[in-house]
Structure 1
């Protein structure tokens, strides 16, 4: 349900997300080798259709940079954008089925350290990618998250290249914008409520437009080129606007290429959505929990609608979602407002949007990136211990040096190794019973869950039990013991005889243990 009571917070947040989303939609469409308007369509569908169905209060959906390479290769491989759209529709249907099959629970199995690493990694990427735009060097598309560029360069080489293409006007606009955003956030918002309603990002966008108009009319050496502004396709009439929509071609929908592409888009888009959903809930100041299965249904419907009218595949996107949260968004109304604004502006006033300098938007996104990757977060994770810090920092570095999904995969691998290592350590506890008078007595207590991974560690401990002692192996607290470990204990009975160890095994009392039905209660 849309809550109009929060419109005083959601309206300014929606405007900020709208300003950030438009160039991202265009940039991702350009990188995907698709018509520019296809990115706008995906932004509109993500903002309106997905928002109305989704249970996420602060998530914002739209075209995702993580799918850009897949889309580019698919369009080239299929040889037809219309055929590609049929794969997007089919991918949406698969996501819809995944939602009804309750596949959304997959997102709950990602450790908090990896999710926080994802947020910080995205924050670092935003800063690194937006610095060239702040300098006026706009060779990379907005929304780019890949380390290696098609030109053969990298994120870091593009930073150095930016120094060779510095535009004074862009530097001036981005510098002033950053100063205003910081002053607005740190000082003005604490002085009066009016500065909480009127968002700093909106002010810097208006300032950027005004400054560039002044430059163009009085200081041409500072004026920005058209490529340094938002470049939204402009239709000359309503008929021209309608013609920018494209219908899918279903003639090859059951061929292997289209089916495989649909499955790939569905899996990648679903995984990215679930990760962003989890991350958005972490950022939510009210700590609301979004229904993951309902989100898959919403994304499925969104992709079916987007594909039917010529749009790119979409996901929930962390850049837009975090911008929404940091701008004071409270409910899904802010995401809906952002979608409606995109629709209204491309239909009515696209020329105004094309006056927005990318350097103004760069300043906004740099602040968003900093808030996602604050040094205090790194320090807090370090103080949490290496079990938390190592997966976190590896995820950050991997995302910066690869891309979002690859980086998360590497972070997950480190987290799993950590889990297995800790599980290996805490499988059992051997101690000497000091109350024993005659012979030394040892007790070995096994953990609640014992897997085959614990076999080696338990074997090493049993070998260390000295001769001529009493040993009790307590299994009464173990809900599950792997057959391999049980076999190991049975084999140890023979070893105990040869070492004169008086062995007793304490099993769980099945007469007092709760039944499965009671345990569920």
Structure 2
């Protein structure tokens, strides 16, 4: 685990700076105590990071669960009752892992996974534009298009025009320039620029800028444009930041429904993130999905026990980890310890970091996820790849993560059905001879009821007095619906003077009666013989 510490240590610092405002913002958007977001980030980094089989995934509070959390806190009668649901949800996730439910991750097409990454990249950029210019009225965790305050993503950007903070904007532009310079030029010049990452330099510069311009009317940065970490005054006040579940409410049916809902959604988000991060992993390692569900379940149960939000593996932090050079799980674990240390040791220093500098860091992360070249690549791959991809992107940007993934997956299934309809058979019509039309139909390797309409249509169009050669030699599976169609056609062929020659693995059937008997065999017997 310590083999790549020179990569993992700077990457963990970057992930820490990305995770810190997200932990606080998601807690704010969820209607939960701010400290609960930090608890979830610490648990996600240290506990889940240690138990997980993922080498580059990072877990923490997820924006995709914010709406569920916000609603549940109200309907369950308070945050402590909600924590019971978090604990139970974690236990359900452990059960999912034991039952090997992680296999569901392998049924999502790559076009949808790429669309998810791209959509999240676009959201990151759009959501950070107001913060980049010092308009911080909206929480960092409010990632949905339609927001809880009645605004939407684009209206927030428009509102920024009348609320630009010159100081926050200036340091953000400088930070962005440093990040681009570091990434494109300096990191290729010397080893020191690989060890000391650009985001760390940008954050330090942001703290210095705030310190030296404090009190300036125009170019200074107001306190509301800074990170806000809870500052405990002593041990008792630190303990007071924690909340504990009210297990007396465990008999409430709504708590169990909420727990199952969170377990299902959190597991799905985690598995999709695992699939996405494995694709981004430069070493192309494969994360054991069932072990990941168990790790997430343990993390959620522990987080709920001490007052934290539910956790999932999160693509924003995971991609930031990969883009910053993280190679092993040490990066995720160290980021968790950095979150813990920040709360205990340097909360006041962290509260001097401008949010606009963090927005500049997230701009780079978002761009790397949603590069314009990817749209061109997907378009060239053909409509079967591009349409599910773009539908997923649009769904995520204009709705939320799960809606976008569901729409993309739905379109992907429709594409499969269309291609299945088209590829059920190959029809070759020869020139009309003395004995009528000569037609050859070759069935695909697997023919199901999806292909029923296409095959029926072609058979009905065969003219009278024709010669049909039906080739099923390479067909391994014939659905019973297709067998019934072929049986009916054999009966009708007599009346239309259509001669049928059947080519199969077991030989050639050149007699209409034998043809009908061939397809009258029981389905299992026929398939076994094939």
User: Shorter-chain TM-score: what band?
Assistant: over 0.9
* Distance in structure 1 (CA, Å) of the matches to 2:397 and 2:377: 20
Q: Which residue of 2 aligns with 1:103?
A: 101
Unmatched segments (≥5 aa) in structure 1: none
Aligned to 1:324, which of 313, 317, 321? 321
* Per-residue deviation, 1:95: 0.6
Q: Which residue of 2 aligns with 1:30?
A: 28
Q: Which residue of 1 aligns with 2:331?
A: 334
Q: Which residue of 1 aligns with 2:520?
A: none
Write the deviation string for residues 4-42 of structure 1: whole angstroms up to 9, x where unpaired: 010000000000000110110000111111111100000
Aligned to 2:152, which of 151, 154, 157? 154
Kept after mapping to 1: 8 A contact 2:29/2:141: no
Q: Which residue of 1 aligns with 2:84?
A: 86
TM-score by length of 2: 0.93
Q: Which residue of 2 aligns with 1:279?
A: 276
Kept after mapping to 1: 8 A contact 2:207/2:354: yes
Kept after mapping to 2: 8 A contact 1:471/1:502: yes
**Alignment partner of 2:269: what SS?**
helix
Alignment partner of 1:297 is 2:262: no
Kept after mapping to 1: 8 A contact 2:27/2:141: no
Output the aligned Cα RMSD: 1.9
**Alignment partner of 2:473: what SS?**
coil
Kept after mapping to 1: 8 A contact 2:84/2:247: yes
Kept after mapping to 2: 8 A contact 1:31/1:72: yes
Q: Which residue of 1 aligns with 2:309?
A: 312
TM-score by length of 1: 0.95
Alignment partner of 1:370 is 2:351: no
* Distance in structure 2 (CA, Å) of the matches to 1:230 and 1:427: 59
* Distance in structure 2 (CA, Å) of the matches to 1:453 and 1:254: 46
Alignment partner of 1:391 is 2:388: yes
Q: Which residue of 2 aligns with 1:7?
A: 5
Alignment partner of 1:164 is 2:167: no
Alignment partner of 1:115 is 2:113: yes
Q: Which residue of 1 aligns with 2:511?
A: none
* Per-residue deviation, 1:371: 0.7
* Per-residue deviation, 1:508: 4.5
Q: Which residue of 1 aligns with 2:138?
A: 140
* Distance in structure 2 (CA, Å) of the matches to 1:292 and 1:140: 35
* Distance in structure 2 (CA, Å) of the matches to 1:103 and 1:479: 29
Greater shift after overlay, 382-391 or 42-51? 382-391
**Alignment partner of 2:469: what SS?**
strand
**Alignment partner of 1:505: what SS?**
strand
Write the deviation string for residues 105-152 of structure 1: whole angstroms up to 9, x where unpaired: 111111111111111111111000000000100111113220001222
* Distance in structure 1 (CA, Å) of the matches to 2:142 and 2:501: 63
Kept after mapping to 2: 8 A contact 1:215/1:221: no
* Per-residue deviation, 1:464: 2.2
* Per-residue deviation, 1:69: 1.0
* Distance in structure 1 (CA, Å) of the matches to 2:183 and 2:287: 28
Aligned to 2:205, which of 185, 204, 207? 207
**Alignment partner of 1:311: what SS?**
coil
Kept after mapping to 2: 8 A contact 1:145/1:404: no
**Alignment partner of 1:221: what SS?**
coil
* Per-residue deviation, 1:435: 13
Alignment of 1:428-447 (within 5 A): 428-432=425-429, 440-447=437-444
Write the deviation string for residues 432-479 of structure 1: whole angstroms up to 9, x where unpaired: 468999665432221122121110100111122232232232223222
Write the deviation string for residues 373-429 of structure 1: whole angstroms up to 9, x where unpaired: 101111111111111111111111111111111111111111111111111100111
Q: Which residue of 1 aligns with 2:183?
A: 185
